[in-house]
Amino acid sequence: MAEAHSAVAFSFSITHEGWDVNFDREVLHLVWQSGIRSWKKRFFRFVNNLRSGVYPASLESLWLTLTVVTAIHFAGYKVPYDLVGKAAPYLSGSSVLAHLAGSFIVGLLLWLVVIYVIRYTFKLLLMYKGWIYESREKGSSATRVTKVWTTLVKLFFGWHKPMLYSFQGSLPRLPLPSVEDTMKRYLRSVRPLLDDENYARMETLANEFQKGIGVKLQRYLILKSWWATNYVSDWWEDYVYLRGRSPIMVNSNFYGIDAILMYPTNVQVARAASVIYSCLQYRRLIERQELEPILIQGLVPLCSWQYERLFNTTRIPGRETDKITHYQDSKHIVVYHKGRYFKVLIYHKNRILQPCEIEM
């Protein structure tokens, strides 16, 4: 009971002598600091998502567009189709405020249209796959189409440095191959593994699938590909990854070691603290989107969505299928030692603990 009372930050009691208020300043300060840290992370996450959402443009271009539209309108020139003049009568307030509000709305709409056109154009450029089949031999040169494509793609990169999730909205959808093409590639892949008799049997099964249930399944995939950027990722996660009943410690989970090139120390707890600190620094880079997205040949971006669940994520086991739970923030890590789990705090006064502090 004494421990429970000591854990309460605020208490209020009424006795025959009057009322009494007790509070723990240190606990209230920790609660306040925790709230401030949480709201800061939400704010910066919102700003970073907004910056990534308008890439390759920037938020500064919005203010420039609003300024130009307002200046042109008040200079007596008509913004395209006199949109500001047509919108002003429908806005309440004085004439000047109505025209300012109209300029803001029209400028914002024009900016959004331009952003959409730029992002869609960039997505169309990323759909080009001819660069994959270009010769990489010494002395060979790319085709004229690939050279033009490379120049256009570089124009989008030249505006400002991309953030981790800057390309997510511009990535093309996963292309859906036809059933016939899938069967041809499947038969070509199994041909070296089968003799003539078994391969002939496999051809028969492939033809039956292509003319039978494959047609119906293809319609489902086409329907899903219309509203999902990747028609297979969520099904793979739900029906293959989370329903796998084999041990995940060595078959699925990733791990890291600190003894690749050198041994910094022979003290195990010190090495563990250094690894933890390095992981926390890496998590901070992900949260702030300061990591650069992976680019193939410095041009074609890869999807960065998996970074989102690299930390603050746990897999909750189930009888038939597991469930992935992701948290927006986490202030502790879990240490497993000799059959027991320990909760270790990693923050103190809104800062990450140093390796020597984690070691203690």
Tens digit of each residue's pLDDT (9 = 90 or more) over 190-241:
999 999 999 999 999 999 999 999 999 999 989 988 888 888 888 888 888 8
Backbone angles phi, psi at 98, to 5 degrees: -65, -40
Q: Give CA–CA dist 287/307, Å, rounded.
A: 9
d(CA 239, CA 335): 30
Burial class (CB in 10 A: 0-12, 13-18, 19+), 85: middle
The pLDDT value given to residue 261:
65
- DSSP H helix total and E strand total for the chain: 13, 10
- Predicted confidence (pLDDT) per residue in 5-38, tens digit: 444 555 555 655 655 556 566 666 666 666 777 7
Would you tell me how many other CB atoms lie within 10 Å of the CB of residue 2? 6
Q: Tell me how far apart the alpha carbons of residues 263 and 29 are, in angstroms, rounded to a whole number.
A: 40
Mean pLDDT value of segment 331-339: 88
How many angstroms from the chain centroid is the CA of residue 321? 24
This model's pTM is above 0.85: no
Q: Give how far Cα 89 sits from Cα of 71, 76, 100, Å.
A: 19, 17, 12
CA neighbours closer than 13 Å in the CB half-sphere of residue 198: 6
| Confidence bin at 2 (pLDDT 50/70/90) | very low
Kind plus residue range of the DSSP H or E element containing 155:
helix 144-157
Tell me how far apart the alpha carbons of residues 61 and 115 are, in angstroms, rounded to a whole number.
Answer: 10
Q: What is the Cα–Cα distance from 15 to 103, expressed in whole angstroms?
A: 64
Residue 249 has pLDDT above 80, yes or no: no
Quote the percentage of the chain above a pLDDT of 90. Answer: 20
Question: Is 87 a residue whose pLDDT tops 50?
Answer: yes
* 3-class DSSP assignment, residue 251: helix
pLDDT band at 185 (very low <50, low <70, confident <90, very high): very high
Mean pLDDT in residue range 66-83: 81
Residue 199 has a pLDDT of: 94
Between 139 and 192, the higher pLDDT residue: 192
List all residues 6 or more positions away from 42 whose beta carbon is below 8 Å from its beta carbon. Answer: 328
Q: What confidence category does residue 178 fall into, taking pLDDT thresholds of 50, 70 and 90?
A: very high
| H helix or E strand, kind and range, residue 10 | strand 10-15
Tell me the pLDDT band of 104, cut-offs 50, 70 and 90: confident
Section 321-343 average pLDDT: 89
Q: Is the pLDDT of residue 271 over 50?
A: yes
- What integer is the mean pLDDT of 151-167? 84
> What pLDDT score was predicted for residue 182?
93
306-335 core/surface letters (b: 16 or more CB in 10 A; e: else): ebeeebeeeeeeeeeebeeeeeeeeeeeee
Q: Which of 84-88, 111-115, 131-135, 187-191 has the highest mean pLDDT?
A: 187-191
CB neighbourhood size of 149 (10 A): 18
| Minimum mean pLDDT range among 5-9, 84-88, 98-102, 256-260 | 5-9
The pLDDT score that the predictor gives to residue 1 is 39
Per residue in 277-306, pLDDT (tens digit) is 988 999 999 988 888 899 988 889 999 988
CA distance 356 to 349: 16
